[in-house]
């Protein structure tokens, strides 16, 4: 039986690409072992493509000196535990998708002489992937911007693996998606969301804009930590929604953060967008995830420190006056639907 070890977690940005590639490997007949942390999103989500092994590891960044020391000790202890598992299972290779949860598998694979591959989701790589890139056989990247951080001879642009369920919604028409969500068919629809946790500022300003722009219908995904203050007839709100493909299909314009997963999904669905990068993202990577699209005239980027009701209303009106159908076609040209296949091909599967 062919075996592979996969790691990448802590947040959905690392977990979901790892999940997508695990699915592809499972379909190719691999026995998949997933390494993650009990403290991350992977501790709450199902892993239907193999065995999930979770450890009590935590990230180092943002902690005080004592916290950093404890986290480093736990990471090293986990590395030794993973090394022991690798020695027993003897996998064909290991692939890591970044985040602190990847470090133990990456280091253990190198120590055991197992071929290591890594995938970097964001434009600016994480510290984990900077370290593991020195040990990896090949490095897969989502955005062309990342090439400058890695050795050219072993770096390959593959795009970001996107969940299969999301891709299934690509076959829906806008009308079908609106029917399923019970949304108006004769209005422009703007989707506002800030990722799985929501974004309080986006929700608040989006609500104010909706109050003034009655001719536009708004879908606002608030997240668990935010609420709308008023009940407006032109807003439909959700705390969280698993099937984002329906929302993309139903909308004419998307206003969102600029995580790698969100940007990749927007490319896939060809959605004209206004990006508001998360101000505290490591190395400001969200800004660079989206800026190249603005440079091509295919999106707007508003830095959060400049975001207010006036500028958002102005950008929404500008965006909706464009030829949205033509814009959608142009945006789709930059999507990489087959990221999983590209990765597996480079590995030699």
Q: Torsions phi, psi of 144, nearest 5? A: -60, -30
Q: Give the model's pLDDT for residue 66.
A: 64
Helix (H, G, I), strand (E, B) or coil at 37: strand
Total Cβ atoms within 10 A of residue 154: 14
For the CA atoms of the chain, what is the radius of gyration? 21
Closest CA to 195 of 269, 257, 273, 278: 257
DSSP 116-151: EEEEE-SSS--HHHHHHTTT-SEEEESSGGGGGGS-
Q: 269 with 170: CB under 8 angstroms? A: yes
Pairing state between β 138-141 and 116-120:
parallel
Please tell me the distance from the alpha carbon of residue 158 to that of residue 136, in angstroms, as a whole number.
16
Give yes or no for a contact between 228 and 203, defined as CB atoms under 8 angstroms apart.
yes
What's residue 42's pLDDT?
84
Q: How far apart are CA 209 and CA 228, in angstroms?
A: 12
The C-alpha atoms of residue 287 and residue 290 are separated, in whole angstroms, by 6
Separation CA 10–CA 21 (nearest Å): 17
CA distance 344 to 125: 21
Same fold, 3-157 and 165-332: yes
**168 Cβ contact partners less than 8 Å away, ≥ 6 residues apart:** 245
Let me know: does 173 contact 179? Beta carbons within 8 Å: no
Domain 3-157 in CATH: superfamily?
Answer: Glycogen Phosphorylase B; (3.40.50.2000)
The 10s digit of each residue's pLDDT in 227-243 is 777 789 999 988 877 78
Pair 264, 286: CB distance under 8 Å? no
Distance of CA 244 to the CA centre of its chain: 12
Domains of the chain, residue spans: 3-157, 165-332
Nearest to 58 by CA among 106, 9, 118, 108: 9
pLDDT in tens, 187-212: 999 999 986 555 788 989 999 999 99
Rounded CA-CA distance 96/197 in Å is 24
- What CATH superfamily classification does 165-332 receive? Glycogen Phosphorylase B; (3.40.50.2000)
**How does DSSP classify residue 187?**
S
The CB density around residue 294, as the number of other CB atoms within 10 Å, is: 16
What DSSP element (H or E) covers 80? helix 65-89
Compute the distance between CA of residue 207 and CA of residue 286 in angstroms, rounded to an integer: 24
pLDDT under 70: residue ranges of the chain: 58-64, 66-69, 71, 195-198, 225
* Strands 50-55, 31-37: pairing kind: parallel
Per-residue confidence (pLDDT) for residue 227, from 0 to 100: 73
pLDDT at 21: 97
């Amino acid at each position: 039986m062919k075996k592979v070890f996969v790691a990448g977690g802590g947040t959905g940005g690392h977990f979901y690409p790892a999940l997508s590639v695990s699915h592809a490997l499972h379909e190719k007949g691999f026995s998949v072992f997933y390494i993650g942390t009990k403290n991350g999103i992977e501790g709450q989500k199902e892993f239907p493509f193999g065995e999930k092994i979770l450890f009590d590891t935590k990230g180092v960044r943002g902690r005080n000196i004592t916290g950093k020391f404890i986290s480093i000790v736990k990471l090293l202890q986990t590395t030794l535990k993973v090394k022991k598992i690798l020695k027993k299972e003897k996998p064909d290779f290991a692939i890591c998708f970044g985040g602190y949860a990847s470090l133990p598998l990456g280091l253990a694979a190198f120590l055991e002489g197992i071929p290591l591959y890594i995938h970097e989701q964001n434009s600016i790589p994480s510290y984990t992937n900077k370290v593991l890139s020195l040990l990896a056989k090949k490095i897969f990247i989502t955005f062309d911007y990342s090439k400058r951080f890695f050795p050219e001879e072993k770096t390959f642009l593959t795009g970001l693996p996107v969940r299969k369920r999301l891709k299934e919604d690509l076959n829906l028409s806008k009308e079908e998606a609106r029917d399923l969500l019970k949304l108006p068919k004769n209005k422009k629809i703007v989707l506002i969301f800030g990722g799985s946790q929501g974004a309080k500022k986006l929700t608040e300003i989006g609500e104010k804009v909706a109050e003034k722009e009655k001719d536009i219908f708004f879908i606002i995904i608030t997240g668990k930590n935010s609420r709308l203050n008023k009940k407006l007839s032109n807003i439909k709100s959700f705390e969280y929604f698993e099937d984002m493909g329906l929302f993309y299909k139903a909308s004419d314009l998307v206003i969102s953060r600029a995580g790698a997963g969100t940007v990749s999904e927007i490319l896939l669905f060809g959605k004209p967008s206004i990006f508001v990068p998360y101000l505290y993202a490591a190395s400001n990577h969200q800004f660079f995830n989206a800026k190249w699209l603005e440079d091509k005239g295919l999106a707007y980027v508003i830095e959060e420190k400049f975001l207010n009701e006036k500028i958002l209303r102005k950008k929404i009106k500008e965006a909706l006056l464009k030829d949205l159908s033509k814009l959608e076609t142009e945006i789709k040209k930059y999507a990489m639907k087959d990221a999983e296949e590209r990765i597996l091909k480079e590995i030699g599967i």
